[in-house]
Structure 1
Amino acid sequence: MYYYTLPDEFVRTQMAVGALVLFGVLRVICAAVGAQRSWRMSTVTRCFIGAAVLFCLPQLLDVVMSSPMSHRAFVELQGKAIGCALALFCAPIVSHRLGYE
């Protein structure tokens, strides 16, 4: 029986793109809703930073708790962290260009 695994670059890229799309789209939607309901954008940003930490928490705990088997979790954590960071950096720019901030 053969076991095939994806290279680390593919897993990292998939996690990064997934997190980027998830948090980017949700951040723009929440900015639109927040503009209509007069929410403070700093509060929305802080909530999304907390959500990004919770999103990365399972892989972070796996890396910390199980050191010999944590290579896959570390690769997934890298991808998720990169995607979340890009989304939290770029989504306010997009929201501002759309006129929500």
Structure 2
Amino acid sequence: MAVTPAAYDTAGEAERGFDGLRAGAEGLTARITHVRDGIGWVWVIPGSRALPEVRSSRAYERYATCQNAFRRFVVLLAKQPALELPDRVATLRLPDGR
């Protein structure tokens, strides 16, 4: 549905990033732009430092189809349950204490 250009060091960081995006789903706005190399339209949610926070995973042939895809993304994102993540990952130990 969407991809992010951000690279996360851990799965927990990625999940917290997704949860932050999910929490603000209703207020998200997208910039719809024409693809540079090819035919089609993509939606982009602008982030900090002029980098996209999230963008569509593919190009759409029509502008209206791209708009509708973004609307569906927001609806699905808002329906995701909030994650309850620990502040840090617990260390796994073997039964013998190692």
Establish whether TM, by shorter chain, passes 0.5: no
Greater helix content: 1
TM-score (norm 1): 0.32
Greater RCO between the two (CA within 8 Å, min separation 6)?
1
Greater strand content: 2
Q: Which has the larger radius of gyration?
A: 2
TM-score (norm 2): 0.33
